[in-house]
Amino acid sequence: MKINCLSCGFKVDLDDMYDDFEGPIKCLCGAMLEVRIEEGMLKGIKLAEPLSRSAPKPKRMEGAATT
């Protein structure tokens, strides 16, 4: 069975041991997908935690000296 990653669209290939499975699957892009598979049929899928594409910029301190 193949499922499409909700973050990047990559087709994640799952073997037969996932025919009855509920839990996390990690894509190559690093996204965690929560899936529910029953009798080889995908019953549910959602993005477990959104990926941050860029790191937050550090805040500049008030009154900091610049050189």
- pLDDT score, position 23: 95
The domain spans of the chain are 2-49
* Percent of residues in the chain assigned helix, strand, coil, to nearest 5: 5, 40, 55
User: pLDDT digit of tens for each residue in the chain (67 aa)?
Assistant: 999 999 999 999 999 899 999 999 999 999 999 999 999 999 999 998 655 555 455 555 555 555 5
